Amino acid sequence: MRVYVPLTLPGLAEAHRTGELGTGAAYAVTPALRDWYGSEDVEELEYAALNAAGTASLRLLAGDDGAARRRVVVAVDVADGAVTAVPDADEPGEVSVAGPVRLAEAAAVHLDSADAEGAVAAGDADALEDHDLLWYATQEIPNLLADGH
């Protein structure tokens, strides 16, 4: 099952250093997300889960004044049995993942472009609808971190 783990760039740097993404919230296609979104289209549902993780990344940024104003989401494939939907979650699709989530299991990293920094800095989730998270291969993480993205 694919889960989307929200981070900040300092969080991504820590994950790159330790090899683990931590044990925070993640997002996935769950029955609650299907009901909320009202679709059975898997691609649409995956996009909704990615966006929910992007919103969670925005909340993480609100608590980290020193982080670059860019949302970060890491897409990771984990065993279905390791994922549990969070009951009464604030966001549909919120899940917890049993055990550590290894960065080596990541499928991709999603990151805002520089164009989104103003909306991210303002914490405006509605304005961010105009800014899709960009896709990066996991091999690009060192460059993303070195470039100060």
Domain membership flag for residue 146: no
User: What number of other Cβ atoms are within 10 A of residue 50's Cβ?
Assistant: 22
Tell me whether residue 25 is in a domain. yes
Let me know if residue 149 belongs to a domain.
Answer: no
For residue 147, being part of any structural domain is answered with no
Number of domains in the chain: 1
What lies within 8 Å, CB to CB, of 14 at 6+ separation is 22
pLDDT value at residue 149: 53
Give the CATH number for residue 90.
Answer: 3.20.170
Q: How far is CA 14 from the centre of its chain?
A: 15
Question: Is residue 29, in this structure, part of any structural domain at all?
Answer: yes
Residues 6+ apart with CB under 8 A from 141: 12, 16, 103, 109
- pLDDT digits (tens), the chain, 149 positions: 999 999 999 999 999 999 999 777 899 999 999 999 998 899 999 999 999 999 999 999 999 988 999 999 999 999 989 999 998 888 889 999 988 889 999 999 999 998 898 888 888 777 788 899 999 999 999 999 987 65
Residue 99 lies in a domain: yes
CB 31 within 8 Å of CB 85: yes
Determine the structural domain holding residue 87 and report its residue range: 2-141
